[in-house]
Amino acid sequence: MAAKKPKPEKQITTSETPLPAPVLSESGRTVAYSDAIFSIALTLMALEIKIPSPEQIGAKNLLVALGEAWPAYLSFLISFMIITVVWTNHHTIFRYVKYVDHNLTILNNLLLLNIIIIPFCSEMLGEYILLGNDNSKIAALIYGGWIALGGIPFNLVWRYGVKKEYLRNPEANLAEIEVISKHFIKGPYIYSFVTLLAFINVWLSISGFIILILMYLIPTTWLFRKKKQV
């Protein structure tokens, strides 16, 4: 009887090699860095509010000249409140996300990139809003489009952070996470719709942004309270 040939040893493929554990760090440093970027964005907007020079106002009253600059004040106020809304909800994210890895850091920096360019869009809106022509619509569309675009990295930061169990706060309530997820995901779609209203009327679009500011300033605790009542 012929001897059995020894079975060849099983080759270990790269796919079977265990992946290295992700390098994690506490989220505190990420939050502190993000807060600094939010502060810089708000400061840049404040610096863009110009005081009219004596040469510019001529024989006008200073109060009249300041009043004529109200579009710049309006765009500043709207942008200030939008950044405040994002900052508030950013802190909500990191109440549920305790750790960060490389991927979450990259996603968070994409969100911060959006935030730091808002002052540029805000100044453009204030400069062109009263023209009442195509340039006025373009300024409103660029402004609103950039705000709506920021909702994408915001939701990616949230969903990536709470989906990964090793990043999520162990004390996080999964039911609360589900409610917040449904609330956040509406943002990019609604902001996009409000932006497109500029094709009809620029002021209609701006009014929509004011309403959305009030909508997303609502504390997430109210969402849970409403769900319990239902």
Map tokens 């319990």 to a residue.
228
Mind listing the pLDDT tens digit of every residue in the chain (230 residues)?
A: 555 555 544 444 444 555 555 677 888 899 999 999 999 999 988 887 777 777 777 777 888 887 888 888 888 999 999 999 999 999 999 999 999 999 999 999 999 999 999 999 998 998 898 888 899 999 999 999 999 999 999 999 999 999 999 999 999 899 999 999 998 999 899 999 999 999 999 999 999 998 888 888 776 666 566 555 55
Instruction: Count CB-CB contacts under 10 A for residue 79.
Output: 24
Q: Which of these, 79, 174, 158, lies nearest to 125 by C-alpha position?
A: 79
Instruction: Count CB-CB contacts under 10 A for residue 205.
Output: 21
Instruction: Count CB-CB contacts under 10 A for residue 117.
Output: 15
Are 223 and 183 contacting, i.e. CB atoms less than 8 angstroms apart? yes
Q: What are phi and psi of 97, to 5 degrees?
A: -110, 115
Environment class of 133 (CB within 10 Å of its CB; exposed 0-12, middle 13-18, buried 19+)? exposed
Assessment of whether the complete model's pTM goes beyond 0.75: yes
Instruction: Count CB-CB contacts under 10 A for residue 37.
Output: 17
pLDDT at 55: 75
Contacts of 229 (CB under 8 A, 6+ apart): none
Q: Which of these, 113, 45, 52, 43, lies nearest to 76 by C-alpha position?
A: 45
d(CA 203, CA 208): 8
